[in-house]
Structure 1
Amino acid sequence: MSQARNPVGATETTFAIIEAIDELDGCGVTDLADHLGMPKSTVHNYLSTLEQEEYIHKEEASYQVGIKFLDIGASARRRLPIYEVAKPEVNKLAEETGELANLLIEDHGKGVYVHQARGEQAVQVDSSVGARVDLHATAFGKAILAHLPVSRVDDIIEHHGLPQRTERTVGTREELETVLDEIRERGYAVDDQERLEGLRCVAAPILTDSRVLGAVSLSGPGNRMQGDYFEEELPMRLLETVNVIELNFTYS
């Protein structure tokens, strides 16, 4: 991961405050100061400025992340070439399978959901557009890792580690490489309750000119995601969808 040579302390503090407000799901000045180990007066000055610029808002005594971030995030997503191309195909995949379909990209070593589509029997999970997840603990993340340069994979692991989300999560570099070899051989990845207990996923990478642009996945409960449905039918549908996306991206 790249590091700023001369980081601006005030900027780092500003984003630390914003991220803390989000992590705490809203908070007051005292709780935020305690959480960050900063003087209340300093925190209050930052909060006042952020509120003035409409990046946060105050509800009674609690500060919340402002809706302005949604506008900025939506603008960033529109600038992703793969988003507009993949979106209709992900929607179609969800409608035809009835499951939860996701489009994810890699950003700063994390996986980021950029689009979700819900079929009639889609499972409710903790993910949403904009959420960031560990690549090694998800099917779509492993599908992406399998097609990144080895040096890039090593860099991601060095920066983010391999945190265990469940007892099934890949825990070592050697184990991960074995899994990535299998993904490259068969063309898709699986997540057998590696991020969330009870959730299984299958995912395929979006590739063009030997580059991985992202991945598409289908997620569902373990009691439904099994047998030929999970091992053959869904992977086939995914690979078909990804092939269409790749062709449309290449020739659009």
Structure 2
Amino acid sequence: MTTNEGPGRTIQSAEITLNIISELQTQDATRVTALANRLGHSKSTIHNHLHTLEDQQLVVREDGEYRLSLRILDMAMHVREQIGNYDVIRNEADALAEETGEIIQFGIEEHGKVSYLYKATGEQAVETLSGVGKQQPMHSTSLGKTILAYLPQDRTERLIESMDLERFTSNTITSADALRTELEEIRQRGYGIDDEENIEGLRCVSAPVENGDTVLGAISITGPLSRFTDDRIHGELSELATGAANVIELNTKFSG
């Protein structure tokens, strides 16, 4: 077993195991040889890791192929239930999706990215790359920028300094100073906007969900440029997002 030296030490064997799990997540089922080729390790190494995962009931072997087991789902549901206001988030997102017909998402910050906790799809919604459990950059999404704006300032600065500010469209913010200016604007108006910054043709508005001095996450409404005009974003849609965020905040405050 070897480790990589650095500010935080990582265990290579653990990295291989996690890479196997990530790869299996993209496949219906696959064989040892295919995994070894994709991950760049010997068949014996991959087989040993798969045997360990199977012994721990995290993967299932059927006809020589491996897939993730339902125990992964149990873990995911446990993580979801750790969010104490999950039921309120789900109910508000579902109601907002029904009212607007668009995509509604709730995200939190994890490891410097937006992690999607819940997604509701309205009748006229367009498909996006996001999904529950997936991650997106913070600097190019309304959810990410809104959360950044309401995190403690020192945390926000650390996150900005760690970002590569990758460009995804011609509208993506790629300057740390420009991002700081955008965050200040979000604080002043109370909601964030993704103006085709992550995906061309899609716009998004989101509002922060706070609990005292802590930002729990943000809720967003996403739709096509044709329906998400400036007037609608800064009027109806921002009001709907802010209203849903307030309901979640109140229920979180008085729950338990």
- Same fold at TM > 0.5: yes
Secondary structure in structure 1 of the residue aligned to 2:166: coil
Q: CA RMSD in A?
A: 2.2
Distance 1:183 1:61 in 2: 53
Structure 2 SS opposite 1:137: coil
Shift of 1:163: 1.9
Equivalence for 1:238: 241
Structure 2 counterpart of 1:173, which letter?
A: A
Give the alignment partner of residue 211 of structure 1, picking from 194, 211, 214: 214
Q: Which runs of 5+ in 1 are unaligned?
A: none
Quick one: structure 1 residues 26 and 231, their matched pair in 2 at CA, closer, same or farther if it must change by over 3 Å? farther
Residue 8 of structure 1 and its aligned partner are, at CA, apart by: 3.8
SS of residue matched to 1:146 = helix
Aligned residue number for residue 64 of structure 1: 67
Matching residue of 2:47 = 44
Q: Which secondary structure state, in structure 2, belongs to the residue aligned with residue 81 of structure 1?
A: coil
- Pair 1:118 & 2:121 matched: yes
Q: 5 Å matches for 1:1-252?
A: 7-22=10-25, 27-58=30-61, 62-252=65-255
Q: Distance between the aligned counterparts of 2:186 and 2:74, measured in 1?
A: 36
How far apart are residue 160 of structure 1 and its match?
4.3
Structure-2 separation of matches of 1:160 and 1:66: 34
- Displacement of 1:132 in angstroms is 1.0
Aligned mates of 2:211, 2:103 — CA distance in 1 = 25
The worse-fitting range, judged by mean Cα deviation, of 159-168 and 180-189 is: 159-168
Q: Which runs of 5+ in 2 are unaligned?
A: 1-5
Deviates more, 1:190-199 or 1:139-148: 190-199
Q: CA deviation at 1:158?
A: 4.1
Q: Once the two structures are superposed, what CA deviation does each residue of 1:70-125 show, in whole Å capped at 9, x if it has no partner?
A: 22111111111232232212221111112111111111211111111222212222
| Cα gap change, 1:31 to 1:156, in 2 (>3 Å) | farther
Q: Secondary structure at the match of 2:150?
A: coil
The number of equivalent residue pairs is 250
Task: Kindly provide the amino acid, as one letter, of the partner of residue 48 in structure 1.
Answer: H
TM-score w.r.t. the length of structure 1 is 0.89
Q: Distance in 2 between matches of 1:156 and 1:213?
A: 16
Letter paired with 2:226: N
Q: CA deviation at 1:199?
A: 1.2
The amino acid across from 2:75 in the alignment is I
The separation in 2 between residues aligned to 1:27 and 1:181, in whole angstroms, is 48
Listed one character per residue, the Cα deviations across residues 120-177 of structure 1 (whole Å, up to 9, x for unaligned) are 2122222211111111111011100001123322332444422222222111211110
Separation of aligned partners in 2, 1:114 and 1:41: 37
Secondary structure in 2 matching 1:115: strand
Structure 1 residue 50 displacement after superposition: 1.6
Q: 1:78 to 1:196 in 2, by over 3 A?
A: same
Distance 1:232 1:15 in 2: 44
Question: Structure 2 length as normaliser, TM-score?
Answer: 0.88
